[in-house]
Amino acid sequence: MPNLGPAVTITNHPQVWNINQSLRLLASLKDMNFSQIQETKVQIIDSAKWYPLYMVLSNASVNFTAIGAAISIYTGPNATGNHIFGGTPLATHTNSRIVNQINVNSGTRANTATDIFIRSDNNTGIPNATLDVFIYGFDLGFLP
Amino acid sequence: MSTIGFPASSISNHPSTIANNQGLRLIANLSGMNLNSVGDTIVNVQNIKTWYPLYLIGTNASTNLTTAAITINTGANGTGDNLFTTSLVGLTSSTAVIFITNSGNLSEDIQRLYFRCTTAQGAAATADFWVYGWDLGFLS
- Determine whether the interchain pair A99/B6 forms a contact, defined as Cβ–Cβ distance below 8 Å: no
| Sequence-distant (≥ 6) Cβ neighbours of residue B14 within 8 angstroms | A19, A20, A21, A142
Give dist(CA B47, CA B26) in Å, integer: 10
Q: pLDDT averaged over chain A? A: 86
Which residues in B have their CB inside 8 Å of a CB on A?
4, 6-9, 11, 13-18, 21-26, 46-47, 50, 52, 54, 105-107, 134, 136, 139-140
Higher pLDDT, B140 or B105: B105
Class of domain A23-139: mainly beta
Q: Closest residue of B to A46, CA-based? A: B16
pLDDT of residue A20: 55
Domain ranges of chain B: 25-135
pLDDT of residue A106: 63
Q: Go through chain B and tell me how many residues it has.
A: 140
Average pLDDT score over residue span B61-87: 97
- Determine whether the interchain pair B136/A141 forms a contact, defined as Cβ–Cβ distance below 8 Å: no
Angle at B16 between CA B13 and CA B22, to 5 degrees: 145
The count of CB pairs under 8 A between chains A and B is: 96
Ranges under pLDDT 50 in chain A = 1, 3-16
pLDDT above 50 (res B1): no
Residue B106 has its nearest CB partner, among A1, A98, A132, at A98
Give dist(CA B19, CA A20) in Å, integer: 9
pLDDT of residue A21: 64
pLDDT of residue A19: 56
Higher pLDDT, A118 or B25: A118
pLDDT above 60 (res B41): yes
Above pLDDT 90, what percent of chain B? 74
- Determine whether the interchain pair B105/A139 forms a contact, defined as Cβ–Cβ distance below 8 Å: no
Give dist(CA B87, CA A28) in Å, integer: 36
A chain contacts of residue B13, beta-carbon cutoff 8 Å: 142, 144
Confidence category of residue B58, pLDDT binned at 50, 70, 90 = very high
- A106: exposed, middle or buried (Cβ count in 10 Å: 0-12, 13-18, 19+): exposed
B chain contacts of residue A19, beta-carbon cutoff 8 Å: 11, 14, 16-17
pLDDT of residue B15: 38
pLDDT of residue B8: 42
In tens, the pLDDT along B59-72 reads 999 999 999 999 99
Higher pLDDT, A6 or B140: B140
- Determine whether the interchain pair A15/B105 forms a contact, defined as Cβ–Cβ distance below 8 Å: no
- Report the side by side order of strands in the sheet with B97-101: B25-34, B126-135, B51-59, B97-101
Q: Is A108 left (phi over 0), alpha (psi -120 to 50) or beta?
A: alpha
pLDDT of residue B47: 81
Nearest by Cα to B91 from B129, B117, B53 = B129
Average pLDDT score over residue span B52-61: 96
Higher pLDDT, A119 or B137: A119
User: What is B25-135's CATH number, 3.10.20.30, 2.60.120.260, 3.30.1110.20, 1.10.150.110?
Assistant: 2.60.120.260
Higher pLDDT, A2 or B138: B138
